[in-house]
Amino acid sequence: MKIFLDTANMDEIKKANSIGVIDGVTTNPSLIAKEGGDFIQTFYDICELVNGPVSAETIAQDTQGMVREGELLSQIHEHIVIKLPLTTAGLAACKQLTDRGIKTNVTLCFQASQALLAAKAGATYISPFLGRLDDISHDGVGLIRDIAHIYDNYGMKTEILAASIRHPKHFVDVALAGADVATIPANVFWKLFNHPLTDSGNTRFLHDWSTVPNNNIEQQVQEWLKNRI
């Protein structure tokens, strides 16, 4: 499963990207608004930093406007993926942009029928929002599972990009449910690394190693290599 970061904050992206496991970034109008500044420059800077797809969302509500905005945004950088809302106008725009070779991410998906239509419109990614479904007592992970099943039934190539992820369990659950990508906020990304047994185990290993004589690995390996020649 690929991991995208769900933020437009450059510091968060830089820090997470330095680990080497981030495959792309998603943004939305709310995330861009939160950062302020020049949004075009922000898209460009994210694309230059991350070696993978970066979603930039259109604002127009009619097909023609979405296609125009999509064509313009896609000229910012080759990594740009055009994010379109899952409306009838959005799906028509998705079809037209796909036909022109532009990658798309159809967003705000809340039921499997919408995901099937997005795949038929040629979407590169479909973004089901599981957290927002869970918020209203629906089964967000169940939606990912249903979409994966339907796409498998028909060999549909659209990638399932699980969005609106709120915590590490969501991340694992969508991996089990067959998501191709999980897009996660930075705070969830850092939580994925942690386990108290990892910390206590590491402390124990360090303590035990401190009892080994001549325990400097660098020095000892260099010495050993020199003596071997």
Residue ranges in contact with ligand E4P by CB under 6 A: 6, 26, 28, 107, 127, 129, 131-132, 163-164, 183
Q: Report helix, strand and coil shares of the chain as percent, to nearest 5.
A: 55, 15, 30
Say which DSSP state 37 is in. S
Q: Which of 2, 15, 34, 83 is catalytic?
A: 83
Nearer to ligand E4P among residue 131 and residue 168 (C-beta): 131
Name which of 28 and 74 has its Cβ closer to ligand E4P: 28
Contacts of 54 (CB under 8 A, 6+ apart): 24, 25, 26, 27, 43, 46, 47, 77, 79, 80, 81
Residues 189, 175: Cα–Cα separation, whole Å? 14
Closest to 63 (Cα-Cα) out of 93, 101, 102, 86: 93
Q: Rounded distance, CA 20 to CA 33, Å?
A: 27
Minimum CB distance to ligand E4P smaller for 129 or for 151: 129
Instruction: For residue 95, give the 3-state DSSP assignment.
Output: helix
The token pair that represents 218 in the structure block: 């660098």
**Nearer to ligand E4P among residue 29 and residue 178 (C-beta):** 29
In whole angstroms, the minimum distance from the beta carbon of 4 to ligand E4P comes to: 8
- DSSP reduced 3-state for 79: coil
Active site residue 34: no
Q: Could you tell me the two tokens for 128?
A: 């089901």
Residues noted as catalytic = 83
